[in-house]
Structure 1
Amino acid sequence: MPELKKNFVVFESDDEKVIEEFVGIEIYSTPDIKGINGDYKTNYIDFIVKEITNDGKILEIKEDSPPIPFSRDTNDKYTTFNLVKIEKDTFEAINQLCSTLHIPSHFITYSGLKDKHAVTVQKVSIRGNFVEKLQEIEIDNLYIRSINPTRKPVRLGSNRGNHFIITIRNIEDVPNLENTLQKSIDTLKKKGFPNYFGLQRFGKYRPNSHLVGKLILKKEYEQTFNEFILRKYSSESPRLQQIRDKVRHLIYDEQNFSEVLNIFPKSLSYEWDMLDYFNQHPMDFKGAVFQLPKKLITLLINAFQSYLFNRMISLRVSENYPLAKPVKGDNICILDDLNGQPTNVNYIYGSLYDEYLEEALEMGRAAIVAPIVGYDTDLNNYPLMQKFFTQILEEESIDPSIFQSEWLKEFEFKGSFRPIVIRPVGLDMLELEDDEVNQGKKKVKIEFSLLKGSYATMLLREIMK
């Protein structure tokens, strides 16, 4: 674990595995298979993400169709299109669209966030008729395709999943490399892997979203301000560490506070807006925190819930409970026949239905689930996971009353559940050949599909270790 100081979090190394442990990602489903190491996202073209629509269609990067005009006869209300982005996160892409079209951000909806260092395609909707304006847009590394009017918009979580084509580079050319890779792939097809929330949920270089979310729920706004802006992480750049040091020494100096705004990068817009507010309203930490957009606060609180979920999975395995086999007290959820998503039909394992539940699990028609704890979660429905959840609260000195926070209700975090294991669909090795970027090394290209909400990076860590 990292060395935790008041103003500095020091990781043993910048190895991603070390940082993953900080957010609860600790175990593997393939611990006995040697990893191939290597690098991914060396180039944006090495990480391709194609959204899978709710009807099972995989969007293609280059697919396009002639725009269709709005029609009153079909009661069109939205303009829906394929958004292709390169080396941009979803927020940046949406903000650029809003700025170009001169519309507020709430006019635009999408099913989910996509990776930044990648080529991605996803469905997006805009309220109103923007068919002609979208055809005229020219934004670097942003492409609008297949523009169509629709009666209903794309909504958050409305996609079925995502299809990935990923290249891992800089692999040592060791004996039996292909056999090792194939063994990992075959095992992951059969057993799946822990359905962790990946580092993207928490921040790769500054992995503290869950800590900020927890502090917001605890209404500790000065500590929230300090964690979001002032606390340094050894995993971020030395330049930013130095800037945070300087800001911390000036933060309570009203006479010289303006210097803070001069030295803090405007590119870190969320932090900069908080500091600007604090300059105008000294010591109003709560007001500064709530300069953050509602969508971001939602993500921060959700990151705290995600961290607890990750810890429950890791603790389950460290306590010698199997990951993929049911144990008395497990909550078993029946999956939808059409899209494989969890339904609201749940059973507690350890009853008359065990034989049928085991058969459903074996057939991929059911899943062991753990709670994403919110204000309406009844932990009695998760007898085994409740044990681990209580243990985590005790270890981290978290008061259970935090889950009745007004902010959970304000941002509608009722709670839900999530499978603890996910199986990739169509996992395959497309090619294994010499790496033209790293002389003397190999590269491998793989493809697979995952249901929405699951992280491709968690599959990669099983292969790479």
Structure 2
Amino acid sequence: MEGDKVKRTRQHQRIKTWSHRKLITSTVDGCVVVRRGRAQDIRDDQRRSRASKGPAFTKAILYKFDRDSMDAVSLLARTLRIPPRAVSLAGTKDRRACTSQAIVFQRIHPSKLASANTELNGLRLGNFSSSRHPLRLGDLQGNHFTLVLRHVRVHPDSTWSLDQSLKSLRDDGFINYFGMQRFGTGPVPTHHIGRAILQNDWEGVYHLLMLPRDGETEDIASARRRWFQTRDAQEALASFPRRHTAERSILRAFSEDRHSHDYCGAIRTIPRNLRSMYLHAYQSYIWNSMCSLRLASPDHFKPMVGDLVPMAAGADGPLLDSRVSRGDQGLHFMTHSLITSSFFLQIKNVHILTEKDDLSKYNIADVLLPLPGFDVLYPTHFIGEKYREYMLKDGLDPERMRRSIREYSLSGAYRHILCRPANLSWKTMQYEDDKAPLILSDADILDGIPEPEENKNGQHMALILSLTLGTSQYATMALRELLRVDSSSEHHILLSQAIQPTVEESDTETKHDE
């Protein structure tokens, strides 16, 4: 086993990897000597190995542009040559936006992340720090938005001014629906996939993800056809675009196992965050349906016997102050929470209104509806029955949401019917050029780009909104309340088909989370 230093180093590494570091190697007179390690020696060697790779988890701020969150994770995993499961996020952000969010990497040294910035298209990493654990969906306290609406005009027949509409949004809030992003804009809604997972219908999940469908681009449609015609997982995997993470995960599992019958096993190779999104989409679908039924009832804007309210009703929602500054490592953000979100209230903190309660002490903003789960209370009036009715149609029981596969068990949560945005401010700006930026992204600020100046002689008017929303509250729903426009996925698909698919600042938001 004689040789130069490089060859000996490789031999050391191979032996340690093969023996799971239970053998200790050393170099004596140019030769690699192998011996069985003592327990303490093995622990010391493992400790040195972990230290050389950096902290157990490294937290950073991810800035992205023209990429959705799952696509960004896939790009980061490919660039860093790590599995996607080694990257965790607290939530997903829109593609057509300039967004900043926390991200955690497992066993990746900050210097490696910093150097990767030169290879990332549309992404930037910065503000590195060590962390003791990864992120999970929901591990954030809110989002701060800056939005630009162009070509703003007040309808001539409207009895409300622009300021009156915005003050109403600030003071009265909006219906706290889950936005269309929760359910996807593709031909197969994500809540259909979540429903099939909860039904333990693994073959059904597979078909929902893999079957050809209308409305897709030719490259994806061709990849789907190739898979069902040839059943060659390797060939189909090579033809599927990298952004289709779920489909590629299934094909990779089939190609490694050499068969395509273990649907459950293949689906479990899909990144956990993505599988969780499917389940949360089904919960969100049920919640939206129940919210519509509750608000369609007589005296719908008054609390009623059987409603759920927080024990300390009237508490404010979450606030988040987000700012950006320059830092030694590139992107550097300062965020801090002011008030904790009430989204994940426990049962002991939820009260069911009865005839003994003074209903005049409560208002509709206090009323909660549960997301289905095994650890939540349901309203005791007609809405509780509607939960059972709707879910039984899907072969599910809202009282029995535990599953044999633990990660598919849903404990549930609570959500306010109404949402009031925090820190809502606005201004108008005259402009001429539709492509000229009217606000700065975080990256623009770090790069020292000056603030856009208003063209007071411009023919068009833009409305610039700034607001803070809590966990899983949607700016698209606030805009729907303000603009009175259709927010369905079908409507937005038609809009996207009607315009050139370019990402301009008028379609984007600047968004921060913690």
Asked if these proteins are the same fold (TM beyond 0.5), I'd say: yes
Displacement of 1:200: 1.2
Say whether 1:458 aligns with 2:477. yes
Q: Structure 1: which amino acid aligns with 2:371?
A: I
Displacement of 1:377: 3.6
1:22-421 aligned at under 5 Å gives the runs 78-127=57-106, 130-137=109-116, 138=118, 139-149=120-130, 156-171=137-152, 174-175=155-156, 179-230=160-211, 232-233=213-214, 236-237=215-216, 239=218, 243=222, 246=225, 251=228, 264-265=240-241, 267-275=243-251, 277-278=253-254, 280-322=258-300, 324-333=301-310, 334=312, 338-342=339-343, 343-344=345-346, 345-355=349-359, 357-358=361-362, 361=363, 367-379=366-378, 382-393=380-391, 396-400=393-397, 403-404=400-401, 406=403, 409-421=406-418
Q: Report the aligned-residue RMSD.
A: 3.7
Displacement of 1:170: 4.2
Among 459, 466, 482, the alignment partner of 1:447 is: 466
Q: C-alpha offsets along residues 316-355 of structure 1, whole Å, 9 cap, x if unaligned?
A: 2234451x43111100013667335244312112343435
* Unaligned segments of structure 2, at least 5 residues: 1-50, 317-338, 436-457, 486-514
Secondary structure of 1:452's aligned partner: coil
- Could you tell me how far apart the structure 1 residues matched to 2:412 and 2:405 are? 9
Larger of the two Rg values belongs to structure: 2
* Alpha carbons of structure 1 residues 153 and 401: separation in structure 2 relative to 1, 3 Å: closer
* Alpha carbons of structure 1 residues 101 and 78: separation in structure 2 relative to 1, 3 Å: same
* Alpha carbons of structure 1 residues 314 and 435: separation in structure 2 relative to 1, 3 Å: farther
Contact 1:326 1:368 in 2 (8 A): yes
* Alpha carbons of structure 1 residues 385 and 167: separation in structure 2 relative to 1, 3 Å: same
Displacement of 1:182: 2.4
* Alpha carbons of structure 1 residues 245 and 309: separation in structure 2 relative to 1, 3 Å: same
Match of 2:420? 423
Displacement of 1:264: 4.9
Secondary structure of 1:370's aligned partner: strand
Displacement of 1:440: 6.3
- Could you tell me how far apart the structure 1 residues matched to 2:123 and 2:274 are? 23
* Alpha carbons of structure 1 residues 265 and 88: separation in structure 2 relative to 1, 3 Å: closer
Secondary structure of 1:186's aligned partner: helix
Q: Structure 2: which amino acid aligns with 1:331?
A: L
- Could you tell me how far apart the structure 2 residues matched to 1:153 and 1:296 are? 15
* Alpha carbons of structure 1 residues 392 and 143: separation in structure 2 relative to 1, 3 Å: same
Match of 1:50? none
* Alpha carbons of structure 1 residues 228 and 448: separation in structure 2 relative to 1, 3 Å: same
- Could you tell me how far apart the structure 2 residues matched to 1:399 and 1:153 are? 31
Q: Structure 1: which amino acid aligns with 2:423?
A: G
* Alpha carbons of structure 1 residues 357 and 240: separation in structure 2 relative to 1, 3 Å: farther
* Alpha carbons of structure 1 residues 155 and 255: separation in structure 2 relative to 1, 3 Å: closer
Match of 1:60? none
Displacement of 1:105: 4.0
Secondary structure of 2:129's aligned partner: strand
Match of 2:29? none
Q: Structure 1: which amino acid aligns with 2:129?
A: N
* Alpha carbons of structure 1 residues 146 and 219: separation in structure 2 relative to 1, 3 Å: closer
Contact 1:331 1:347 in 2 (8 A): yes
**What is the number of equivalent residue pairs in this alignment?**
379
Match of 2:6? none
Q: Structure 1: which amino acid aligns with 2:69?
A: T
Percent identity of equivalent pairs? 25
Q: Structure 2: which amino acid aligns with 1:418?
A: R
Contact 1:328 1:384 in 2 (8 A): no
Secondary structure of 1:167's aligned partner: strand
After the TM superposition, which segments of 4 or more aligned residues of structure 1 sit over 6 Å from their partners?
255-259
Displacement of 1:258: 7.8
- Could you tell me how far apart the structure 2 residues matched to 1:198 and 1:452 are? 13
* Unaligned segments of structure 1, at least 5 residues: 1-71
